[in-house]
Amino acid sequence: MSADFVERNTARGDIATVNAVLKQRFGERFSTAPAVRQQHGHTTSWIKNQPPEGVVFVESTEEVAAVVSICAEHNIPIIPFGTGTSLEGHVNAPEGGISLDLSKMNRVLAVNTDDLDCVVEPGVTRKQLNEYLRDTGLFFPIDPGADASLGGMASTRASGTNAVRYGTMRDNVINLTAVLPDGRILKTGNRARKSSAGYDLARLLIGSEGTLGIITELTLKLQGIPQAISGGVCPFPTIEDACNAVIQTIQYGIPVARIELLDTLQVKACNAYSNLHLSEQPTLFVEFHGSDAGVAEQAEMFGEIAKDCSGGEFVWTAQAEERTKLWQARHDAYWASLGLRPGAEGISTDVCVPISRLAECVTQTAADIKELGFIAPIVGHVGDGNFHVLVLVDMDDAEEVARAAGFVSKLNKRAIAMDGTCTGEHGIGQGKIPYLEAEIGHGVDIIRQIKHVIDPQNIMNPGKIVPTRDKASST
């Protein structure tokens, strides 16, 4: 059998029986209503909606284990659902099955201020957590833009605007609890900040996209709110100049907290949507964390680098209201971009390359967009070499959709050829499956083998990361 595939057990059980059992157990917290099912097959994605056959709203680890045990007994797929903000078809149900909605598991269970950590359920969102922490002097730094659930963020190994300073979810989860495909409850460790005790099971589950188990509790690292925060914007004549400023900023060791690239089209969209008044040219949004003296020094150093890279005036501020407006505009970039072509849908993709290849990759991508005549703004967390493209497409135009798919394919292959990755933070899901083998080679074999050992029935989010094939068609 090809290593690209995991086998699908064709002897799936009777979904009607499972639905009846879940209805009896969960009452109104179980639904087969078409609208509810459709909503749980939805992602902010161009990938076709594939709804589950039932949706159950769970409220505890024990309830998750009960649902998994019922589905395992009848060999029915389970698809975990947090807030539905994923971008690569992660919550689709290509084989039907049960969507397990974790949004009601939204309690902050503990905050250990002396140890700078907290314990949360997976349905807690990043904004909810930081609101809860507001009076503690602590915050959780991972900020992917969308108000995603923390369980979903761990499952996709999310990062975002602060990753250049604070890392990704992989770096900020101390331990987790998960329900395995046979219904067992696994806790991967305790609250110690480091451990050499055996395999790193938490890191195995982080980024596994619900294909190995369902995360039901997380212990997260927290950070002290900086004494001072400053941020600002700087325009550049070309994307290459802006990228070169990013490269030098990172190479010179300036401890920038966030550094985001918006191309001309994205700036235009943000001006219109968020009522900004930025010069419509490639622009960097930057932010510095530290002491009053430290952030002022960092801003001055960045300003000198920007000037050397042909940048315009670097306007920065320490006023919270002005910074909030700027970063809210950045987080609204997706919605702002849709206004560039009303009625079109967005094909969102991301790649990540070594920082030294950033300017080359972004400029070649911009040239492709121009050649193909697409409306496709570029925005990125460029401090770690990660950027996104949103191609606005008429989904009723098959030829245009095909050209867009070809563009996305070329971009993914370019990033891999530059020793980068086909996804810096979106995850593989369904949409990135074709590029994983090109990136990690025989690593796909290992992923398939791990999946088979932990989930031999292939009921945990089947059809994600590596494709599924029926046993009957295997050779």
For residue 359, give the nearest of 475, 236, 473, 258 by alpha carbon. Answer: 236
Per-residue model confidence as pLDDT tens digits over 75-86: 999 999 999 988
The crossing angle, in degrees rounded to 10, of helices 398-417 and 433-440 is: 20
Q: According to the model, what pLDDT value does residue 1 have?
A: 37
How many residues are given for the chain? 475
* CATH 3.30.70.3450 boundaries in the chain: 228-320
> Is beta strand 468-470 parallel, antiparallel or unpaired with respect to 214-221?
unpaired
Q: Rounded distance, CA 443 to CA 257, Å?
A: 33
Q: Which of 33-42, 54-63, 176-185 has the lowest mean pLDDT?
A: 33-42
CATH 3.30.460.80 fits 336-433, yes or no: no
- Give residue 264's Cα distance to chain centre: 24
Per-residue model confidence as pLDDT tens digits over 316-334: 887 888 888 888 999 899 9
Per-residue model confidence as pLDDT tens digits over 133-145: 999 999 999 998 8
Provide the percentage of residues in the chain whose pLDDT is more than 70: 96
Q: What is the DSSP annotation of 256-294?
A: EEEEEEE-HHHHHHHHHHHT----SS-EEEEEEEE-HHH
Over residues 335-341, mean pLDDT: 96
Helix (H, G, I), strand (E, B) or coil at 111: strand
Q: According to the model, what pLDDT value does residue 332 have?
A: 93
pLDDT at 472 over 50: no
* CATH 3.30.465.10 boundaries in the chain: 108-224
Cβ-Cβ contacts under 8 Å for 247 (sequence gap 6 or more): 355, 356, 358, 359
Provide the percentage of residues in the chain whose pLDDT is more than 90: 88
Q: According to the model, what pLDDT value does residue 469 have?
A: 62
Q: Which of 5-19, 98-112, 284-298 has the lowest mean pLDDT?
A: 5-19
Overall fold of domain 6-103+444-473: 3.30.43
Q: Would you say 407 and 368 are in contact if contact means Cβ atoms under 8 Å apart?
A: yes
Q: According to the model, what pLDDT value does residue 68 have?
A: 98
Per CATH, the number for 228-320 is: 3.30.70.3450
Overall fold of domain 108-224: 3.30.465
* CATH 3.30.70.2740 boundaries in the chain: 336-433
Of residues 105 and 48, the one with the higher pLDDT is 105
Backbone φ and ψ of 402, nearest 5°: -65, -40
Q: Rounded distance, CA 71 to CA 18, Å?
A: 7
Q: Which of 5-19, 157-171, 342-356, 404-418 has the lowest mean pLDDT?
A: 5-19
How much is the pTM?
Answer: 0.92
* CATH 3.30.43.10 boundaries in the chain: 6-103+444-473
Q: Rounded distance, CA 232 to CA 284, Å?
A: 8
Of residues 340 and 7, the one with the higher pLDDT is 340
